[in-house]
């Protein structure tokens, strides 16, 4: 068995790679590690709407209880809500059962510490070592030593809705808002928030059945939301992913705005409001050249990290930055949260729109985004760390960079969660970029699939 934890927890096809046995062992090992600080740790567990969520929740819970931990089940709730409620309930850890934007057959298990931050790498390694080395930490305790499922003092979803509403001080009376909840964890909470603010809400992706999560909807498929915005005459469209930690915006004309534009618009708002600590924003290597130019024109410094909101947050904590995120829509507003939060980010974007007096499309037009082409190369997982050492691949990349000259770039990176290599080219001519990218993908797949 290889490394269990990727950049975003343990993930795989439910009941094949991510089995109930593995979930049970993760529950045991995680609780055992937590017992170094608290002999009776409390763990809050939340999940999205996948059909496999109940199975994995039950297995995780059994593992935690078997070694003496207590569990508070939060039910279907966004990932950032688990991070917030771990703090609210003074828990020792939070666990999210979700595969984020992936299709329903996948699932994942992600740990947060009691402060709502993703678990430290060293603690993840301790949990991994226990499982991979087949160490059974179950001491087969009996009687009163066995853990319990605790009743939450308040409704978890209502607590989170209140938290979100407390982050803003505006009303949206008369504003037409179209929401795409991806048939996932935001399907009840996002409409509650926007209706509480007085918005006129149109909904899609709000009827989960365990199988349709992220199915041709949500932040990875915002095209249908764009159609809804145009059809309903909405002032804005907001798309979340399955666990509601991402946001993609659709302006009033039905044009899609990715995370780069949203972050840039919000960073400018924060600067005008005197809230942009250190006068800087954090982005990843995937961020568009246009994003960097817009920030430079606004006198805002940009810190660049590897892909993954965990790395964005690490840099933000290091520098004191209060806003950072990814093109995919993971955005962290550190004044209010410890992780990406799609609904919270949407509220901050609405603040930027209202305070500017402009429409979303007018704000978007102020930021020129250069064409990017992203193509996935399917490869064997064994080659995800070695393909760049291949001379033929290296020569192909060098040739593309020379062809683009100073008007573009090539970025290749392995996926942290899937058997893929992501090939990204950026420049002026999308058609040319697509040809170059597919040529490189064909070579990588031919050699390493």
Residues annotated as catalytic (active site), given as ranges: 100
Distances (CA, A) of 261 to 267, 281, 312, 327, 331: 10, 13, 17, 8, 11
Two tokens, residue 165: 């509403």
| Distance, CA of 88 to CA of 90 (rounded, Å) | 6
Question: Left, alpha or beta for 279 (phi > 0: left; psi -120 to 50: alpha)?
Answer: left
Residues comprising the chain, all counted: 449
Q: What are phi and psi of 376, to 5 degrees?
A: -90, 135
How many CB atoms neighbour CB 362 within 10 A? 13
Strand order in the sheet with 200-204: 200-204, 176-180, 236-240, 247-250, 256-257
Query: Alpha-carbon torsion 146, 152, 157, 159, what sign?
Result: negative
Residues pairing with 169 in the sheet = none
Helix (H) or strand (E) holding 131: helix 121-132
Q: Which residues of 154-167 are buried (b: 16+ CB within 10 A; e: fewer)?
A: eebbebbbebbeeb
**Quick one: which of 438, 337, 422 has its CA closest to 379?**
422
Contacts of 215 (CB under 8 A, 6+ apart): 103, 104, 183
Two tokens, residue 127: 């949990």
Q: Where are the beta strands (DSSP E) in 114-159?
A: 149-150
**Quick one: which of 115, 123, 129 has its CA closest to 86?**
115
Q: What are phi and psi of 441, to 5 degrees?
A: -60, -45
Instruction: List the end-to-end C-alpha distance of the chain, in Å, as a whole number.
Output: 20
> Is 287:424 a contact under the CB 8 Å cutoff?
no
**Quick one: which of 86, 125, 114, 116 has its CA closest to 4?**
125
């Amino acid at each position: 068995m290889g490394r269990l934890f990727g950049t975003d927890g343990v993930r795989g096809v439910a009941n094949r790679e991510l089995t109930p046995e593995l979930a049970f062992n993760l529950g045991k090992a995680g609780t055992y590690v937590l017992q170094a600080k608290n002999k009776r740790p409390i763990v809050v567990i939340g999940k999205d709407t996948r059909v496999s969520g109940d199975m994995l929740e039950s297995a995780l819970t059994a593992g935690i209880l078997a070694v003496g931990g207590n569990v508070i089940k939060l039910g279907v709730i966004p990932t950032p809500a688990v991070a917030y409620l771990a703090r609210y309930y003074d828990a020792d850890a939070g666990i999210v059962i979700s595969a984020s934007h992936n299709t329903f057959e996948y699932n994942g298990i992600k740990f947060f510490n009691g402060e709502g931050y993703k678990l430290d790498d060293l603690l993840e390694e301790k949990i991994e070592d226990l499982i991979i080395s087949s160490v059974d930490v179950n001491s087969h305790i009996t009687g009163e030593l066995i853990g319990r499922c605790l009743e939450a003092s308040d409704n978890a979803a209502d607590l989170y809705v209140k938290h979100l509403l407390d982050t803003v001080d505006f009303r949206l009376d008369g504003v037409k808002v179209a929401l795409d909840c991806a048939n996932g964890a935001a399907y009840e909470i996002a409409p509650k928030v926007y209706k509480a603010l007085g918005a006129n809400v149109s909904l899609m992706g709000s009827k989960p059945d365990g199988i349709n999560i992220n199915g041709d909807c949500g932040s990875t498929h915002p095209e249908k939301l764009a159609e809804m915005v145009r059809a309903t005459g909405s002032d804005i469209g907001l798309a979340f992913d399955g666990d509601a930690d991402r946001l993609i915006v659709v302006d009033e004309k039905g044009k899609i705005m990715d995370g780069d534009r949203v972050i840039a618009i919000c960073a400018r708002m924060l600067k005008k409001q005197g809230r942009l600590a250190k006068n800087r924003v954090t982005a990843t290597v995937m961020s568009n050249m246009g994003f960097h130019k817009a920030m430079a024109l606004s006198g805002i410094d940009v810190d660049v990290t590897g892909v993954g909101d965990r790395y964005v947050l690490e840099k933000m904590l290091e520098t004191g930055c209060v806003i950072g995120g990814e093109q995919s829509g993971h955005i962290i507003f550190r004044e209010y949260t410890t992780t990406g939060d799609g609904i919270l980010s949407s509220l901050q974007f609405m603040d930027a729109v209202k305070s500017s007096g402009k429409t979303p499309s007018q704000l978007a037009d102020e930021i020129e985004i250069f064409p990017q082409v992203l193509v996935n190369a399917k490869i064997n997982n064994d080659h995800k760390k070695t393909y760049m050492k291949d001379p033929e691949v290296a020569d192909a990349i060098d040739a593309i960079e020379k062809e683009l000259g100073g008007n573009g770039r090539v970025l290749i990176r392995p996926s942290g969660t899937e058997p893929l290599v992501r090939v990204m080219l950026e420049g002026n001519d999308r058609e040319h970029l697509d040809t170059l990218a597919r040529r490189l993908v064909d070579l990588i797949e031919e050699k390493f699939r």
